[in-house]
Amino acid sequence: MVNIHIYPSPLTHESRILRITDALAQAGIFTRIDVVGVARADLPAVETVDAMRSLVRLPRRLFAHSEGFIAKLVRTIEWSARVLASLRGRRVSCINAHSLAVLPLCVLASKLTGARLVYDTHELETETVAAHGMRQRFARRVERMFIRSCDMVCVVSDSIADWYAHEYGIPRPAVVRNIPQFPTPQSGDRETVRARMGLRPGHMGFIYQGGLMEGRGVERLLRVFAQLPGVDLVCMGSGPLEPAVQAAAAGHPNIHFVPAVPPHEVLQYTRAADVGLCLTANCCLSYYFSLPNKMFEYLHAGLPVIVTPLLDQRRLVESYGCGWVASEDDEALAALVRSIDPAQIRQVQSAVDRAAAELNWDNEKARLIRAYRDHGFA
Domain range summary for the chain, segments of one domain joined by +: 2-179+362-374, 190-359
Average pLDDT, the chain: 93
Burial zone of 204 (CB within 10 Å; 0-12 exposed, 13-18 middle, 19+ buried): buried
108 residue type, one letter = L
88 residue type, one letter = R
Q: What is the pLDDT of residues 246-288, one digit of tens each?
A: 999 999 999 999 999 988 889 999 999 999 999 999 989 999 9
C-beta neighbour count of 261 within 10 angstroms: 14
Q: Among 3.40.50.140, 3.40.50.720, 3.40.50.2000, 3.10.20.90, name the CATH number for the domain at 190-359.
A: 3.40.50.2000
Q: What is the pLDDT of residues 166-189, one digit of tens each?
A: 999 999 999 999 998 887 666 668
Q: What is the pLDDT of residues 93-139, one digit of tens each?
A: 999 999 999 999 999 999 999 999 999 999 999 998 877 788 889 99
- The domains spanning 2-179+362-374 and 190-359 adopt the same CATH topology: yes
Say which CATH architecture domain 2-179+362-374 belongs to. Answer: 3-Layer(aba) Sandwich (3.40)
C-beta neighbour count of 223 within 10 angstroms: 13
Kindly calculate the radius of gyration of the chain based on its CA atoms and give it in whole angstroms: 22
What pTM was computed for the model? 0.89
CA distance 153 to 148: 9
Beta-ladder partners of 233: 206, 255
Q: What is the pLDDT of residues 80-99, one digit of tens each?
A: 999 999 999 999 999 999 99
CA distance 10 to 81: 17
Closest Cα partner for 305 from 327, 326, 328, 323?
323
- Flag whether pLDDT at 65 surpasses 80: no
Alpha helix (H) ranges present in 101-202? 103-113, 133-146, 158-168, 190-197
Closest Cα partner for 335 from 227, 206, 244?
227
